[in-house]
Amino acid sequence: MATRHSRAAARMMMAPAVVLLLGWMLVPLTMTLWFSFRRYLPMRGGDLGWAGFDNYVRFVTSSTFWPSIQATLIIVGGVLVVTVVLGVLLALLLDQPLWGQGIVRILVIAPFFVMPTVSALVWKNMFMDPVNGLFAHLWRFFGAEPVAWMSEASLQSIIMIVSWQWLPFATLILLTAIQSLDREQLEAAEMDGAGPLSRFAHIILPHLSRAVTVVILIQTIFLLSVFAEIFVTTQGSFGTRTLTYLIYQRVLESQNVGLGSAGGVYAIILANIVAIFLMRIVGKNLDA
Amino acid sequence: MARAHAPARKALTTALAWTAGLLIFFPILWTVLTSFKTEAEAIADPPLFLFFDWTLENYAVVQERSDYMRFLWNSTIIAGGSTLLGVLIAVPAAWSMAFVPSKRTKDILLWMLSTKMLPAVGVLYPIYLIFIELGLLDTRVGLTVVVMLINLPIIVWMLYTYFREIPGEILEAARMDGADLRSEILHVLAPMALPGIASTVLLNVILAWNEAFWTLNLTAVDAAPLTAFIASYSSPEGLFFAKLSAASTMAIAPILILGWFSQKQLVRGLTFGAVK
Amino acid sequence: MGRIVLEQVTKRFGDVEVIPPLDLTIEDGEFAVFVGPSGCGKSTLLRLIAGLEDVTAGRILIDDADATNMPPARRRLAMVFQSYALYPHMSVRRNIAFPLRMAGMDKAEIERRVQAAAAALNLTDYLDRRPGQLSGGQRQRVAIGRAIVREPTAFLFDEPLSNLDAALRVGMRLEISEMHKRLRTTMIYVTHDQVEAMTMADKIVVLHAGRIEQAGSPLDLYRTPRNRFVAGFIGSPRMNLIEGEEAARHGAHAIGVRPEDITLSREEGGGIWSGVVGVAEHLGSDTFVHVHETGLAETLTVRVSGETPCTHGDRVWLTPREEAIHRFDAAGMRIE
């Protein structure tokens, strides 16, 4: 429904956004791809020539690779489990009639707006510090030995911090999904004699499955690149060196750009696999 | 649906929900409270909750020692500038997609969203190099552009969904009434979509404000925003809880307030319409 | 001035030809109504004239100037949309003034014209309201006001009354007709309602599948429909169409008789056709009797002036007025 004039105008008006994003995507991507096939050590001689698939092989065979994959999976998986389970429970709770719903919603959502460096530092010091942290006080109050969270339970600590940041997101989306559920369906089920548990299992949960999928996919994409939380807490030590952090260290800390770029290509492929599933769902909704 | 046991049940769910809400909010509350304590009170065991000598000293010290205002200014410029720039680029693009859709519109939109999913670390070094080449490292301009680019897909997407709710006939009426493209967008579309544009701006200011990967890696001193300001407290000043709290409070307060207005947009903006 | 000429105008959406090559002239000052069933291409044709869609081939001339590639803003046409398409964020005053503002007219002149239009349309008291605070009829008036202030070459109406309730529709119909008599500006009016077409038009253009089935004055079309489609579409209740032996007796593939051209008798043998009354609709001034089991068509509709005591199940006898019988050939075209 348009004329040549408006179609021409549309192309013109779309051009800046398309060109910018195309540049933003293609230029660095091409460079990363190029570097990944070079022996490129800026501090030790610069570009030392063609490396073939050496970087790719070395990145995967280095002793740090599998632990980093493991750390990544544990963190992403842990955060997903915590946020989805708690998110469903919280969403169900907030969907009930209660006094001060608006305020509770605000309280629950607030952590999402806290910048990652702040939440990481506040948790690391004020809560998880083994001497003066609030948890240490609490443990001592119950006569237990305070835990040195960041060194002894580093992965759990990071999962906890990141979960706290992402729980609001999961809750909010799941709550939106629950509220879109047809009330009459629930009432019909109740009339048919379904108890609260079977109503949850047979009606609410299936209705939520799509929202849960979306939460999982979107969070996975963001969680795969969790950075600031590790940067200001453990700096990748104590088994918290994720794939993202490993690549960051290779590139900026040890300045082995070729190797880091090969890692970057792996990370991009990984993110794209998740993105494809997400884009399918988004695409379907666009048609509707 | 009033029921006989409703009040008792409501009381129970209220209690549960408030407990959960306060628990989740507690770290923020504790940070704010601690920021008003002395360092000794901050680490007191048992912890002091409300009964301590309230003081503003920490705020003064933080400002004096690290020049909080400069970081705040950088954050404001980067978040505000990138959002403004992004909206200026995204409005025409979203207009095209919403009102002159073609067979490729959907593909372009999905492709734009997919650029959002590019892992930043994968392109860290190229961007770093480009920044050095162009002299953009540690400049507000460079960071504003990068943050704009990473949020542009979300801005385009949100504006597109808002524009699609506006009937095309109204824009056609404007065309019949003699409006050129500029007037059509400026006098008809923009005022009608104002609530949507405002929501988009709000959410993207928040996302830009909290962006931590690029701000940490591409700034040092001059252009460092609040994310970097806080990161500088990671050690050893972090052990001074009261000052850390004051710095943290100052870093999150502005955005926390904006955030409360943007709950609904959060769902629309961050799920790309996959949840309605 | 406002003479609009379409020469071989064609529109395709992809592979679908919505409007095959079409010629049409709308004279200056004429009230032309495009009528046809939904999907017949009448709105598309209007949008082509407006410039909101491109023609695939052919030319559009407005006052002898080639407007084929002119953007809508420069065609000097005003359009009233089905949804009214008022600007919700502007007051009535600013809505009406918008085209004048776009034309860069000076403030005093804009205000004078807005006041005049508002007075003519009974909108003076509502000038400071937003469209959302108005009733459907008032919104319609604002849309018309926005069109007339510009003093356009021609008005285009896209089913403007379809969102109004029946009573308002009749009132607005009269107002638009009066407006046309007063302004004598060319108007092109799209509707699917043949009553609107009959009552308002100087020229009716009946469209079907993008083709012009017939164009002419309302009574022309009523009296001498060029083909079966026009015969069936124009007139209410519809013309009775009869095929088979009875048609063959008249030397045609099908014959058509309008309900008012049949006389009805309740006396045994009081007519050449006979059947059983299904429903008699009593309107007071007229009665429409629907007759079944005639062996000619499923139902024959007969208009009886005034009242008739017919009821369901009565046997009746019918006589068509021989000189009022329309004859059509196998291709559906009229036989003179």
When pLDDT is averaged across residues C246-268 and rounded to a whole number, the result is 90
Domain membership flag for residue B275 = no
Domain final residue pick, C217, C232, C247: C232
- Give the model confidence (pLDDT) of A1-15 as tens digits: 467 788 888 889 999
Interchain proximity A228–B227, CB inside 8 Å: yes
Same domain for C294 and C147: no
Mean pLDDT of chain C: 91
pLDDT of residue C168: 87
Give the CATH superfamily of A65-240.
Answer: MetI-like (1.10.3720.10)
Which domain, by its residues, includes B204?
Answer: 61-270
CATH number where C24 lies: 3.40.50.300
Instruction: Say if the Cβ atoms of A228 and B231 lie within 8 Å.
Output: yes
Domain residues for the domain of C59 are: 4-232
Of the ranges A28-42, A189-203, A263-277, C235-249, which one carries the lowest mean pLDDT score? A189-203
Instruction: For chain A, give the secondary structure using H, E and C.
Output: CCCHHHHHHHHHHHHHHHHHHHHHHHHHHHHHHHHHCEEEECCCCEEEEECCCHHHHHHHHCCCHHHHHHHHHHHHHHHHHHHHHHHHHHHHHHHCCCCCHHHHHHHHHHHHHCCHHHHHHHHHHHHCCCCCCHHHHHHHHCCCCCCCHHHHCHHHHHHHHHHHHHHHHHHHHHHHHHHCCCHHHHHHHHHCCCCHHHHHHHHHHHHHHHHHHHHHHHHHHHHHCCCHHHHCCCCCCCCCCCHHHHHHHHHHHCCCHHHHHHHHHHHHHHHHHHHHHHHHHHHHHHHC
Q: Does A265 touch chain B (CB under 8 A)?
A: yes
Q: What is the pLDDT of residue B2?
A: 44
**Other residues' Cβ atoms within 10 Å of the Cβ of residue A187:** 12
In the prediction, which pLDDT does A151 show? Answer: 79
pLDDT band at C216 (very low <50, low <70, confident <90, very high): very high
- The mean pLDDT value for C236-260 works out to 90
Residues B40, B177, single domain; the answer is: no
Residue A124, min C-alpha distance to chain B (Å): 9
State the total domains in chain B. 2
Separation CA C121–CA C110 (nearest Å): 16
Q: At residue C172, does pLDDT exceed 80?
A: yes
pLDDT at B239: 65
Please tell me which residue of chain B has the smallest CA distance to A246.
B121
Instruction: Taking residues C2-19, report their average pLDDT.
Output: 91
C310 and C195 inside one domain: no
Query: Which chain B positions have a beta carbon within 8 Å of A271's beta carbon?
Result: 117-119, 122
Same domain, C274 and C141: no
Going from the first residue of chain B to its last (276 residues), give the mean pLDDT of each consecutive group of 10, the final group possibly shorter: 66 90 92 86 75 82 82 92 95 92 87 84 87 89 93 90 89 91 91 86 86 86 85 69 87 82 68 61
Q: How confident is the prediction for chain A on average, in pLDDT?
A: 85
Higher pLDDT, B189 or A232: B189
**Among residues of chain A, what percentage have pLDDT more than 70?**
98
Say whether residue A160 is in contact with chain B using an 8 A CB cutoff.
no
Q: What integer pLDDT is reported at residue C225 of this predicted model?
A: 94
List, edge to edge, every strand of the sheet that includes C4-13. C16-26, C4-13, C57-62, C65-66
Last residue of a domain, one of C212, C232, C252: C232
What is the phi/psi pair of residue B166, to 5°?
A: -90, 125
Residues of chain A positioned with their CB less than 8 A from the CB of B95: 10, 13
- Could you give the percent of chain A with pLDDT greater than 90? 16
Same domain, C41 and C73: yes
- Of C232, C260, C282, the position where a domain reaches its end is C232
* Inter-chain touch C71–A1, beta carbons under 8 Å: no
Interchain proximity B175–C146, CB inside 8 Å: no
Domain at C324, CATH number: 2.40.50.140
CATH number at residue B241: 1.10.3720.10
Task: Flag if B248 and A247 touch (Cβ within 8 Å).
Answer: no
Residue of chain A with shortest Cα separation from B34:
A126
- Of the ranges A45-54, B136-145, C86-95, C229-238, which one carries the lowest mean pLDDT score? A45-54
Three-class DSSP category at C209 = coil
Arithmetic mean of pLDDT, C157-172: 89
> Do C202 and C246 lie in a common domain?
no
Mean pLDDT in residue range C158-169: 88
pTM score: 0.85
Do B76 and B213 share a domain, yes or no?
yes
Judged by a CB distance cut-off of 8 A, whether residue C54 touches chain A is: yes
Interface membership of A5 toward C (CB under 8 Å): yes
Min Cα distance A1 → chain C (Å) is 7
For A55-100, how does the pLDDT look when each residue is reduced to its tens digit (9 = 90+)?
888 888 888 888 988 898 899 999 999 999 999 999 989 888 888 8
pLDDT at residue C288 tops 90: yes
pLDDT in tens, A91-129: 989 888 888 888 888 888 889 889 888 998 889 888 888
Note whether A192 contacts B: Cβ–Cβ < 8 A: no
> Structure tokens of B37?
């304590």
Q: Report yes or no: A79 and A219 within 8 Å, Cβ to Cβ.
A: yes
* Site of tokens 């075209």: C333
Residues from chain B contacting residue C51 (CB–CB below 8 Å) = 175
Q: Select the residue of B173, B180, B183 nearest C81 (Cβ to Cβ).
A: B173
Q: Which chains touch B (3 or more CB pairs under 8 A)?
A: A, C
Task: Give me the interface pTM, i.e. the ipTM.
Answer: 0.84
